[in-house]
Amino acid sequence: MKAKSFLSAALLFSIGTITINPKLAMAMDSRAADNIDTIIVHHSATETGTVESFRKFHVEQRGWDDVGYHFVIYTDGTVHEGRKSKFVGAHAKGRNYSSLGICLVGTDSFTKAQKKALAGLIRELKEQYQITSVERHHEKCPGRGLNVERFNAEKYRRANL
């Protein structure tokens, strides 16, 4: 199944504008959309941050090719694309090849706007990639303020947070 564009009207309308960074290092490993079966949700562990600030940290401090996350959700609920989904992420050691990484800016509590944007983004990604699992990065990430497991429930298809 060929993945549709992230710039679909449904995604833009339901969760806001996605900012796209067109400059990516060519050294990153690409993958087929068929290999993506999991979404892994993270938090930034910072009160503020942008895709560009996370990219700068990941490139300059960690030595990565780009920001590790595929999407970052700001506190106002805007969704920003980081690393292109066709490239393997750098957000969950041992699970990057088959997953997409979403990072919410914040530590332990998230805004209603972030939760709504996360729900819309997960719904769109699950449909687009036939994703079967949504997971937290680890037990402390994305914090206690978000029940990530609810996105695996069948009733989630119509549910809001």
Residue pLDDT, tens place only, 101-130 = 999 998 878 899 998 899 889 988 988 898
Is residue 16 included in any domain, yes or no? no
Give the burial string for 80-100 (b: 16+ CB within 10 Å, else e).
bbbbbbebbbbbbeeebebbb
Residue pLDDT, tens place only, 48-72: 999 999 999 999 999 888 899 999 9
In a domain, 9, yes or no: no
Assigned domain for 52 exists: yes
What CATH number corresponds to the domain at position 114?
3.40.80.10
pTM: 0.74
d(CA 36, CA 151): 16
Beta bridge partners of 81: 71
Radius of gyration of the chain (CA): 14
119: containing domain: 31-153
